[in-house]
């Protein structure tokens, strides 16, 4: 299976990657000019430590809100968490926020039903994934959340419309989202340690996988649905 179905999709994928790279370069230049202390990890950590217990709580809250409201990609918050708190603590804070946000999204959909989900999510996503989550079952949900670039936050809301229990859903989210977040947090830790080549390489891997997942989400959805009956889903 080709990564891109057409030349148009290929150019769109390259454009997406270019925008991400330019965005990172622009952010780097601005921070170098106006906030150079950001690149001195120890100084930044000392500044963050002044907030005591509230520093991790702020990151957990931001990561929680990005799942529910989705103003920024969760991987960006995870990257910052790795840079400030290191690989282990950053992973714990990021996943805690993601799990709380996922549980809230699931529970809101379960409590208030389809009307809330249709108000929160884009109509195109609802049309493409409505009922799909329940049809493919737990293994299918696992595939949807483990592949970066798919609308996994939206799927949290759609999962609330199924007959699943919260604990089943949370178990899948905890395992499925772990790899991408560990990789991103570790990349942030590498940048903080001055290993910029390794950090940028890991970021490139995450961005590439996300681009493929985003532009191939229809094919991934169809494959999951095709193989779902074989696994008793």
Q: What are the DSSP calls for 10-77, one per residue?
A: HHHHHHHHHHHHHHHHHHHHHHHHH-GGGG-HHHHHHHHHTTTTHHHHHHHHHHHHHHHT-SS-HHHH
Specify the number of domains making up the chain: 1
Which span out of 14-28, 59-73, 168-182 was modeled with the highest average pLDDT? 168-182
Specify the pLDDT at position 106.
93
Q: Is the pLDDT of residue 124 over 80?
A: no
Residue 12 in domain: no
Q: Where does residue 142 rank: exposed (0-12), middle (13-18), buried (19+ CB within 10 A)?
A: middle
Cα-based torsion angle of the residue sequence 142, 129, 157, 15 in order, rounded to the nearest 10 degrees: 80
Residue 157 in domain: yes
Domain that holds residue 214: 40-231
**Cα–Cα distance measured from residue 183 to residue 90, given in angstroms and rounded to the nearest whole number:** 11
Specify the pLDDT at position 40.
58
Residue 196 in domain: yes
Residue 7 in domain: no
Instruction: Give backbone dihedrals phi and psi of 176, rounded to 5 degrees, phi first.
Output: -70, -35
Reading the block at residue 161, the tokens are: 């419309």
Q: Is the pLDDT of residue 211 over 60?
A: yes
Residue 26 in domain: no
Q: How confident is the model at residue 143 (pLDDT cuts 50, 70, 90)?
A: confident
Residue 220 in domain: yes
Specify the pLDDT at position 52.
72
Residue 8 in domain: no
DSSP 8-state symbol, 229: G
Specify the pLDDT at position 8.
63
Which span out of 63-67, 122-126, 169-173, 203-207 was modeled with the highest average pLDDT? 169-173
What pLDDT digit, counting tens, does each position of 147-196 carry? 887 778 888 888 888 888 999 999 999 998 888 889 999 998 888 888 88
Residue 166 in domain: yes
């Amino acid at each position: 299976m080709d990564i891109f179905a057409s030349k148009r999709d290929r150019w769109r994928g390259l454009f997406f990657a270019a925008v991400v790279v330019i965005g990172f370069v622009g952010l780097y230049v601005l921070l170098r000019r106006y906030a150079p202390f950001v690149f001195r990890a120890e100084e930044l950590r000392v500044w963050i430590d002044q907030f005591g217990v509230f520093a991790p709580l702020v990151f957990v809250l931001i990561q929680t809100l990005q799942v529910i409201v989705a103003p920024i990609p969760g991987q960006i918050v995870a990257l910052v968490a790795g840079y400030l708190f290191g690989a282990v603590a950053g992973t714990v804070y990021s996943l805690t926020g993601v799990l709380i946000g996922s549980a809230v999204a699931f529970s809101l959909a379960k409590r208030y039903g389809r009307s809330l989900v249709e108000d929160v999510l884009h109509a195109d996503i609802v049309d493409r994934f409505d009922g799909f989550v329940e049809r493919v079952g737990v293994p299918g949900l696992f595939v949807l959340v483990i592949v970066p670039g798919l609308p996994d936050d939206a799927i949290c809301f759609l999962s609330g419309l199924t007959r699943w229990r919260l604990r089943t859903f949370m178990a899948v989210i905890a395992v499925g989202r772990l790899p991408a977040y560990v990789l991103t947090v570790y990349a942030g830790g590498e940048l903080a340690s001055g290993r910029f080549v390794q950090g940028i390489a890991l970021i490139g891997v995450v961005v590439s996988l996300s681009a493929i997942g985003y532009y191939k989400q229809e094919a991934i959805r169809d494959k999951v649905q095709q193989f779902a009956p074989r696994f008793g889903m």
